């Protein structure tokens, strides 16, 4: 195709001419309107080039500064000129801002952008004072752009413009750049991690709450196992604290970073397996250094036995609680005594009175059977009526058959009839002159008067703590037995007839219209057989009520939660009320049962009934133990975090060396722990803990049962190793226990004096003397007083002396059961603490080596023999723990608690992200915390100035954990003789 023939994309020539013409005219007009200034255009171009260079310099400075800031973060300002400008609350950001400023200031020095004769330069004031450093930090603002970038703005950049060597203008501008760096995101994550490490258990989820929860799981598992007889000498040891602290740290890492240290997880599992194996084999002591070497060194050892231990430990960690039975116990006895001895509405007698309370009615009806009228005399003619006299006689002449006057729906009591004759005379006197005449008109009316007495059993509503007892009163009673009917009817007749003057008086009043019907409540005196039957019914329920128990978790008990509602429901369920009963007596006995059970349930509702502690949480809380919530924060999304690396990955209690942890320049203890058992047995340094060392405010006295156990141990130690000093201390303790037994005897005699049975003084002395003679040693008598068996024996002997009836024996035994706990807790019966402490200390000193051997070999044959030689057939013969309410008491349990303190740090802690540079991401970005000074060139003189220091990630936690088990000879607690366990680094 020829060019002349090709018309593709051609424009008409005329159109081209028009465009050229218009353009030339426009250009001419523009040039004619102003002077051409090509140098100003060049100035703008120079400024634009300078600003572009500043953007590049800022981006480069920010990128490099961010990389250096996370590798050597400033956690605190140094005590230097430039360190003074760093605010502790935002040390990392201030130091990063100062790095960005200093690098940008150096990059802008001597940099000039030109465009022809015009030149432009951007500059920043140099930093040479603390005030200049503060201003520099204030000029740099930074904000995160997602997790991967930072937008940096530098304000107040000076702009100087020159043309032909002469200054044209000076101004300031702001320079911004966005750089690819996860530095701020990593720092924010580490800040969150540190907040979780520092947060208290009651402030929210964090290390404290997790560690407290995990340690509770340890004692909640091992405590009940020790109580059950498993050979555990140290319920909570520092080895448990170490493992659970590391588990808690890993969990907190997941919360803060979305992932945990991979090496730390592996080390934790090895440590858990090692500790679990030790616990399975009942090893009392474990070498922290050997454990650390095994965990950190990860030797190639057979894992088969450890897997068995690991399985047990994992099961333990997942078990949050154990069940502890909580019983009604002596509450049933105390309620029974009040019920049977009192006279109030809700007593036995009051209930029976209410059960037979009746609404009695008196009905009186007079019927005319005959009437006649006669007259004597006649009025005179023309006489005048002077006066009228009326006269009336009422005579009850004989008994007659009464009419049917009883109201429907009531039980007949008595119905009698009388024939009553009413004679009415009207005398009229007339006058006729000097003479007078009387006219008498006589009307005689004969009545049949019927008097009926009836009743309806209508027990009243009483204010009881349970509705069921009142529902019994509303049930139907088909019949009333003859003896009871006679008493109710007699009572109604007495109130409604006899007290009104009798039947004849009522009959006279009836014919005159002055004997209306009446209703009133009557409460009859009941046959003794009814009361005896009701007493036996309540007495039969008493042991069943006393044995009612409900399981509660140790978590619940330690937290102060007690199964009050469950116990009340189970007590009330011991008797089923019916809608109807064959007789009123059956219904009355059912009401007695229900009322007694309601009294027991009412006492259970009192959290401190009988003066005994029912709220174990309150008892432990008063000594500083509070169980925090167990909710934990969820794991975060990992975001930019690619890895978490701690050095060491697992924090052991043993000292680590630079050879084991290269990141540490010197030996140090990554973790230090101390745990103090509050209540321990009197062995080793825990000897005085029975009375003082385990409690913030030591008691001045101890229960006689505890003192008797200490006396028994001293007797056994003397038998194995005679010693004069112990002999003297034992003598003093024996005398103190004997005095306590004598004081208890006086209290028992007081109980006899206050009982319904009558005892002469010599009989009261005889009863206590014979009862205590059943035990042939002072410590045995002391134990008998302490556990309530002495009180029961006194009741038996007193009943024999009084030749008591079965009912009287029962009441006497109940009274002594109820009084036993008060006697034991009485100040006169308690033993002075120093006497017990001194004897226990001397006994320990003598048998120290034997005791240590026994306790370190818990469960072995040698340990049993050694313990027997020391007077303790069972290592728990003098129990560990605090008996919150010793038997017999309201609720019974033994509690113990541990105060745990830990502090630790990582020699180096790094959080890594994959990215860091748009050019190369091979090495990624790492935020590293370690103990090191931080310095960089701030003033641009080529030498680094110390600005602050990096610090290790460190933490401290103080917490307390508790456990509760039922009452028993072993109790719960550390029995290895070391109440205050401290790691080597503490």
Residue 137: CA atoms inside 13 Å, Cβ hemisphere, count?
Answer: 21
Helix (H, G, I), strand (E, B) or coil at 527: coil
Indicate whether 281 pLDDT > 70: no
Q: What is the pLDDT of residues 935-945, one digit of tens each?
A: 999 998 989 99
Q: pLDDT value at position 222?
A: 78
Sign of CA dihedral 971, 977, 979, 983: negative
Q: pLDDT value at position 556?
A: 59
Q: pLDDT value at position 763?
A: 92
Q: pLDDT value at position 32?
A: 45
Residues 732, 959: Cα–Cα separation, whole Å: 40
Q: What is the pLDDT of residues 435-462, one digit of tens each?
A: 888 889 999 999 999 999 999 888 777 6
Indicate whether 604 pLDDT > 50: yes
Q: pLDDT value at position 881?
A: 66
Q: pLDDT value at position 770?
A: 93
How does residue 975 score in pLDDT terms, banded at 50, 70 and 90? low
Q: pLDDT value at position 223?
A: 78
The answer to whether the CB of 369 falls within 8 A of the CB of 450 is: no
The answer to whether the CB of 251 falls within 8 A of the CB of 210 is: yes
Indicate whether 250 pLDDT > 50: yes
Q: pLDDT value at position 976?
A: 64
Indicate whether 690 pLDDT > 50: no
Q: pLDDT value at position 553?
A: 64
Residue 537: in which H helix or E strand, if any?
helix 528-546
Select, from the ranges 218-227, 796-805, 816-825, 827-836, the one with the highest average predicted confidence (pLDDT): 796-805
Q: pLDDT value at position 841?
A: 65
Residues 168, 159: Cα–Cα separation, whole Å: 11
Residues 267, 652: Cα–Cα separation, whole Å: 10
How does residue 500 score in pLDDT terms, banded at 50, 70 and 90? confident
Residues 764, 752: Cα–Cα separation, whole Å: 7
Q: pLDDT value at position 138?
A: 94
How does residue 624 score in pLDDT terms, banded at 50, 70 and 90? low
Average pLDDT value for the chain:
78
Of the listed ranges 110-119, 536-545, 586-595, 866-875, the least confidently predicted one is 866-875
Indicate whether 8 pLDDT > 70: no
Indicate whether 386 pLDDT > 80: yes
Q: What is the pLDDT of residues 115-148, one digit of tens each?
A: 877 888 889 999 999 999 999 999 999 999 988 8
Indicate whether 612 pLDDT > 80: no
Average pLDDT over residues 212-241: 78
How many beta carbons lie within 10 A of that of residue 865, not counting itself? 13
Indicate whether 278 pLDDT > 70: no
Average pLDDT over residues 909-931: 75
Paired tokens of 304: 């088969």
How does residue 768 score in pLDDT terms, banded at 50, 70 and 90? very high
Q: pLDDT value at position 840?
A: 65
Select, from the ranges 14-18, 670-674, 685-689, the one with the highest average predicted confidence (pLDDT): 670-674
Indicate whether 310 pLDDT > 60: no
Indicate whether 324 pLDDT > 60: no
Q: What is the pLDDT of residues 873-903, one digit of tens each?
A: 333 334 466 655 433 333 345 778 888 999 9
Average pLDDT over residues 249-253: 95
Of 597, 584, 394, 601, residue with least CA distance to 476: 584
Average pLDDT over residues 192-218: 89
How does residue 561 score in pLDDT terms, banded at 50, 70 and 90? low
> How far are the Cα atoms of 109, 111, 404, 765 from residue 123, in angstroms, in the given order?
6, 9, 126, 107
Q: In sequence order, which residues have a C-beta less than 8 Å from that of residue 614 and are 6 or more positions away?
A: 562, 564, 606, 607, 608, 885, 890, 891
Task: Report residue 873 CA to chain centroid gap.
Answer: 36
Q: In sequence order, which residues have a C-beta less than 8 Å from that of residue 546 and are 6 or more positions away?
A: 327, 328, 329, 330, 331, 332, 333
List the beta bridge partners of residue 360: 455, 520
Average pLDDT over residues 420-443: 89
Q: At what angle do helices 761-772 and 724-753 cross, to 10 degrees?
A: 140
Residue 262: in which H helix or E strand, if any?
helix 262-280
How does residue 236 score in pLDDT terms, banded at 50, 70 and 90? confident
Q: What is the pLDDT of residues 842-864, one digit of tens each?
A: 765 665 444 444 433 333 344 34
How does residue 322 score in pLDDT terms, banded at 50, 70 and 90? low
Q: pLDDT value at position 889?
A: 33
What letter does residue 274 receive in the DSSP assignment? H
Q: pLDDT value at position 186?
A: 93
Residue 770: CA atoms inside 13 Å, Cβ hemisphere, count?
Answer: 16
Q: What is the pLDDT of residues 520-539, one digit of tens each?
A: 888 888 888 899 999 999 99
Backbone angles phi, psi at 659, to 5 degrees: -65, -40
Q: pLDDT value at position 102?
A: 95
Q: pLDDT value at position 157?
A: 92
Of 117, 243, 121, residue with least CA distance to 172: 121
Q: pLDDT value at position 973?
A: 76
Q: pLDDT value at position 713?
A: 74
Q: pLDDT value at position 701?
A: 72
Average pLDDT over residues 778-798: 90
Q: First and final CA of the chain: distance in angstroms?
A: 100
């Amino acid at each position: 195709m020829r060019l002349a023939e090709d018309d593709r994309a051609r424009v008409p020539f005329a159109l081209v001419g028009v465009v050229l013409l218009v353009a030339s005219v426009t250009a001419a007009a523009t040039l004619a309107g102003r002077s051409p200034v090509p140098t100003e255009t060049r100035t703008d171009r120079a400024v634009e080039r300078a600003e572009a260079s500043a953007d590049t310099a800022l981006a480069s400075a920010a990128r490099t500064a961010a990389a250096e800031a996370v590798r050597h973060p400033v956690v605190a300002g140094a005590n230097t000129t430039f360190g003074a400008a760093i605010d502790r609350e935002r040390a990392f950001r201030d130091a990063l801002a100062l790095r960005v400023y200093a690098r940008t200031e150096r990059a802008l020095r001597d940099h000039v952008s030109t465009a022809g004769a015009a030149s432009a330069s951007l500059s920043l004031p140099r930093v040479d004072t603390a005030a200049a450093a503060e201003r520099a930090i204030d000029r740099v603002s930074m904000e995160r752009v997602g997790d991967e970038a930072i937008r940096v703005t530098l304000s107040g950049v000076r702009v100087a413009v020159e043309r032909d060597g002469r200054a044209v203008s000076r101004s300031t501008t702001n320079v911004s750049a966005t750089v690819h760096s996860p530095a701020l995101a990593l720092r924010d994550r580490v800040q969150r991690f540190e907040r979780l490490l520092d947060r208290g258990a009651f402030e929210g989820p964090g290390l404290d709450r997790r560690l407290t929860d995990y340690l509770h799981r340890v004692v909640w598992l091992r405590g009940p196992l020790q109580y059950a007889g498993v050979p555990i000498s140290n319920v909570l040891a520092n080895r448990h604290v170490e493992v659970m602290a590391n588990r808690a740290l890993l969990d907190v890492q997941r919360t803060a970073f979305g992932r945990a240290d991979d090496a730390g997880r592996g080390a934790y599992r090895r440590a858990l397996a090692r500790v679990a194996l030790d616990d399975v084999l009942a090893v009392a002591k474990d070498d922290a250094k050997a454990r650390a070497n095994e965990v950190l060194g990860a030797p190639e050892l057979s894992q088969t036995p450890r897997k068995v231990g690991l399985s047990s430990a994992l099961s333990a960690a997942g078990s949050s609680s154990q069940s502890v039975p909580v019983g009604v116990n002596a509450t049933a006895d105390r309620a029974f005594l009040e019920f049977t001895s009192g006279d109030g509405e809700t007593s036995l007698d009051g209930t029976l009175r209410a059960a037979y309370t009746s609404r009695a009615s008196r009905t009186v009806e007079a019927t005319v059977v005959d009437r006649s009228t006669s007259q004597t005399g006649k009025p005179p003619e023309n006489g005048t009526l002077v006066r009228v006299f009326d006269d009336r006689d009422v005579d009850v002449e004989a008994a007659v058959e009464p009419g049917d006057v009883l109201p429907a729906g009531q039980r007949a009591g008595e119905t009698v009839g009388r024939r009553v004759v009413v004679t009415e005379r009207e005398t009229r006197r007339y006058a006729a002159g000097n003479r007078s005449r009387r006219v008498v008109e006589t009307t005689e009316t004969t009545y049949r008067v019927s008097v009926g007495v009836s009743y309806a059993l209508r027990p009243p509503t009483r204010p009881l703590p349970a509705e069921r007892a009142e529902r019994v009163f509303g049930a139907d009673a088909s019949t009333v037995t003859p003896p009871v009917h006679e008493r109710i009817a007699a009572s109604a007749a007495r109130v409604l007839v006899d007290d009104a003057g009798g039947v004849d008086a009522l009959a006279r009043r009836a014919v005159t219209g002055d004997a209306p019907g009446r209703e009133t409540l009557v409460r009859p005196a009941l046959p003794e057989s009814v009361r005896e039957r009701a007493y036996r019914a309540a007495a039969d329920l008493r042991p069943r009520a006393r044995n009612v128990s409900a399981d509660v978790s140790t978590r619940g008990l330690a937290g102060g939660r007690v199964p009050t509602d469950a116990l009340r429901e189970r007590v009330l369920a011991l008797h089923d009320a019916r809608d109807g009963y064959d007789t009123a007596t059956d219904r009355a006995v059912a009401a007695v049962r229900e009322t007694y059970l309601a009294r027991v349930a009412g006492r259970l509702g009192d959290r401190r009934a009988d003066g005994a502690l029912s709220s174990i949480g309150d008892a432990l809380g008063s000594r500083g133990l509070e169980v925090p919530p167990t909710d934990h924060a969820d794991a975060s999304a990992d975001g930019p975090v690619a890895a978490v690396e701690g050095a060491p990955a697992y924090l052991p209690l043993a000292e680590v060396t630079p050879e084991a942890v290269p990141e540490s320049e010197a030996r140090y203890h990554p973790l230090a722990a101390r745990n103090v058992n509050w209540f321990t047995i009197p062995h080793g340094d825990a000897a005085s803990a029975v009375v003082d060392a385990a409690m913030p405010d030591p008691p001045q006295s101890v229960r006689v049962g505890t003192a008797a156990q200490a006396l028994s141990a001293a007797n056994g130690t003397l038998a194995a190793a005679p010693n004069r000093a112990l002999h003297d201390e034992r003598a003093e303790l024996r005398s103190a226990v004997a005095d306590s037994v004598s004081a208890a005897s006086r209290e028992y005699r007081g109980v006899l004096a206050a009982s319904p049975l009558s005892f002469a003084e010599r009989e009261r002395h005889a009863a206590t003397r014979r009862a205590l003679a059943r035990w042939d040693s002072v410590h045995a008598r002391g134990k008998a007083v302490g556990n309530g068996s002495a009180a029961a024996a006194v009741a038996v002997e007193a009943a024999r002396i009084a030749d008591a009836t079965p009912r009287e024996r029962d009441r006497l035994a109940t009274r002594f059961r109820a009084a036993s706990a008060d006697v034991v807790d009485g100040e006169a019966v308690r033993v002075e603490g120093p006497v017990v402490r001194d004897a226990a200390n001397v006994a320990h000193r003598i048998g120290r080596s034997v005791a240590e051997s026994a306790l370190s070999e818990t469960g072995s044959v040698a340990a049993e023999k050694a313990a027997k030689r020391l007077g303790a057939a069972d290592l728990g013969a003098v129990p560990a723990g605090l008996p919150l309410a010793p038997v017999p008491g309201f609720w019974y349990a033994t509690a113990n608690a541990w105060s745990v303190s830990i502090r630790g740090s990582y020699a180096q802690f790094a959080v890594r992200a994959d990215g860091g540079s748009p050019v190369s991401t091979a090495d990624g970005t790492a935020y590293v915390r370690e103990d090191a000074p931080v310095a960089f060139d701030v003033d641009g003189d080529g030498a680094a100035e110390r600005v602050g220091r990096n610090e290790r990630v460190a933490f401290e936690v103080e917490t307390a954990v508790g456990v509760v088990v039922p009452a028993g000879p072993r109790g719960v607690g550390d029995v290895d003789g070391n109440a205050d366990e401290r790691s080597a680094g503490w």
